[in-house]
Each structure stands twice: as C-alpha cells, then as structure tokens.
Amino acid sequence: MPLKSCNRNCVYCQLGRTVPLTNDRREYVPATEVVAAVSQVSQAQRQDQIDWLTFLRSGEPTTHARLGWIISQVKRISPLPVAVITNGSLLYRPEVQEELLAADAVLPSLDAGTAALYRTINRPRPACTFERLVEGLIAFRRRFTDKLWIEVMLVKGFNDTEQALSDLAALLTRIGPEQVHISSPQRPPAEPWVEAPGPEDLARTAALLGGAARPVASLTGESDLSAYENVVEAIIAVLCPHPMTEEELMRTLNRWMPGQVARGLAQLSRDKRLQVVTRHGQRFWSSSGARYPGKPDRRGEAAQPGPPVTSVRRGVGPFAEVVNLEVCRLTQDVSAYRTAAAVQQARQRCTRAAPAAKAIRSRAADFPA
C-alpha cells in the first residue's frame, strides 16, 4: 500500500508531496481488513470511549473503490456515527455521492473561492477542476440530508486576505453547509514556505465567513496502541498518518520509558524508515516514504534538489496548468516557486534544456483532463 494516494498536491499536506497524483478508484487496502479492524476496536473499547468512526486515509478516501461497502458494513456492526473526511474532488461523480449518502457526516475541504487560488493551494490533478469541485459540492448538498461540515485550511498570505475570504464566503453561501471549520497547518507542510496564520486570523476569518464558520483546534486525540507490544511497531503506527515532534511522540508513547522511545527512533532512523523534517525551526519525525522538499523556509525560494516528483506547476506562459508527468530532475522543483519572477526563471531554465522541454511538450498530450 502506498504511504499516500491522492489526486491533489496540497501545499500544506502533512504527508508531503503526492507522488504520483492519481484519480484511480482502487481497493488500496482490502475492504474486509478495514471492516475487521473497526470491529476489533469497537469490541475492545467501551462505546462511551469513542465519539465517531472517521474515514480519512493517507490521502483521499473517496479514491477507495469500496468505500461505500465499507461504510455500510461498519454501520451494521457498530451504532457509532460514521464521518468521512474528503477533499471533495470526486463528489461530482454520482456513484461517489451515492456511497457517501450512508455517512452521518461528510467533511469536504474547500480552501479557495476561485479557480486560480484553488490551483495554487491544492495543486490538483488536471481532471479535478475547480468547476467540478463546486458542481460536486452543490449537487451533494442537495442530496445529503445529514451533517455537511466544510473544512477550510488557511495558508498565510494566500487564502486569508479579505478578497480571498470574500470569494470563499460567496461560494459557501451557494453550497449551504451546516458548519464551516477553520484551521491552520500545525504539522510539517509539504512546502517549506507555507506559514500558519495566528489565532486572531482564524477568528477574523470566522467573522468574515459568516455564522456557520468557527475556528477549530487541530485534532490530536489519543492513539490506541494496546495492540502493540513492540515500541518500534508503535512508533511506525503513530507516525505513518501523523508526523510528530519528539515531545508529542513521548506523550503519545507514554506506555514506554523515554529511553525506549529514543532507542526506537534511533533504530528506525538508522534503518532509513523515518526521517526528520524541519519547518520554521521545528523538527518533526515522519515516515521516510513521505516526500518533502529541502530546507529553505522563505517563501519564493526554490526547494533543495530531491527525488523527482510528478506534479509540476507551470505558472507562466506555457507553464499555465498542472501537468501530471514523470519529469526529469531539472524540472522537479518548479512547483516550489511562488513569485512570478521565480516561476519565469524556472521556465527559462527548463526552456534552455531542449531535450527535457521537448519531452514535456510531447508527453503533455498523453494526459487528458
């Protein structure tokens, strides 16, 4: 199973860049195993210890081909309400809407009120257009009679301006969710230049977005590690979906002595199963399979060279769309450029490399929207 499978490359994603972007609906995890795991947890815990059964995946849950079946089976074995956290990009598909109708709450993300800002922040696969996102959210709202809670992730300097929030408020009025949850990146974002707004900015955003909007705290909760006897296995289970600081890890793994946790981290680091990601001076432990660019923290600077990625943002002239390509190392960091001048410079570098530019032009036609 891939660490992350998603049709977006959100700049704030705590699991790093998406490699590759995928829109395929497949059974990434055996559906029977998911249901069995939920059954096991439900039997092991008292009902008053669990509020919701929530599906979110390492990536986009609606890309799982049997999500609808999983939800229906889970509701048979447990009286607990079911929630699905989704980026909403596939809600324009009637079959995806049908599967989610069985949930008690659906929480789609909506970070932008315009197509341009949507492409900047969420960097979707070409097929996942802004128009389809809006169409799907409105259509699903008409059919879904239960709780629709929109989630907005604020990125400082991008979707927290008055104009951006005005555009978003107008779109939320068209959709009509019961609640709008506003949050900011608290774990290592995929891109080093992503900054989180302060608490006062979240409060200001809630006021501008209307009565349904409210700031929400980051989900921390407690991890049930009762099934793990080995500290190394417990560390992997915790960090795969949620990168953490060492302090957070120590609190989460308090069944073990701090020295045991430290030795486990050292072993996993030596085995190259974990990595340390630094964002704005804070160090996070994360799975080694997550793709993060390098060290620069100042917006507009390029990421350090790293493994090739498959989503390249082309922001000026012929670099105007997101193209899902396997590309050469030369172009692999274009998506980290945010200012027009930096994008233009990246474009010139790519243009000078005639073979690579020719390959991109020739292969672009192979990826329909």
Check: CATH 3.30.1540.20 for 31-215? no
Give residue 241's pLDDT: 82
Give 41 or 305, the one with higher predicted confidence. 41
Average pLDDT of 92-118?
98
d(CA 280, CA 259) in angstroms, rounded, equals: 27
If residue 54 lies in a helix (H) or strand (E), which one and from where to where? strand 53-55
Terminal-residue alpha carbon distance, the chain? 26
d(CA 248, CA 243) in angstroms, rounded, equals: 9
Give residue 218's pLDDT: 66
pLDDT value at 60 more than 90: yes
Using alpha carbons only, how large is the chain's radius of gyration in Å?
A: 21
**Alpha helix positions (H), the chain:** 31-44, 67-77, 94-100, 115-122, 130-143, 162-175, 199-209, 231-239, 246-252, 258-270, 340-352, 354-364
Q: Which residues, in sequence order, are CB contacts of 336 under 8 Å at separation 6+?
A: 191, 192, 193, 293, 301, 302, 303
- What share of the chain has pLDDT > 70, as a percent? 76
Check: CATH 2.40.50 for 231-287? no
Please state the three-class secondary structure of 186-235 as a single string: CCCCCCCCCCCCCHHHHHHHHHHHCCCEEECCCCCCCCCCCCCCCHHHHH
Give the residue extent of every domain in the chain.
Answer: 31-215, 231-287, 311-364
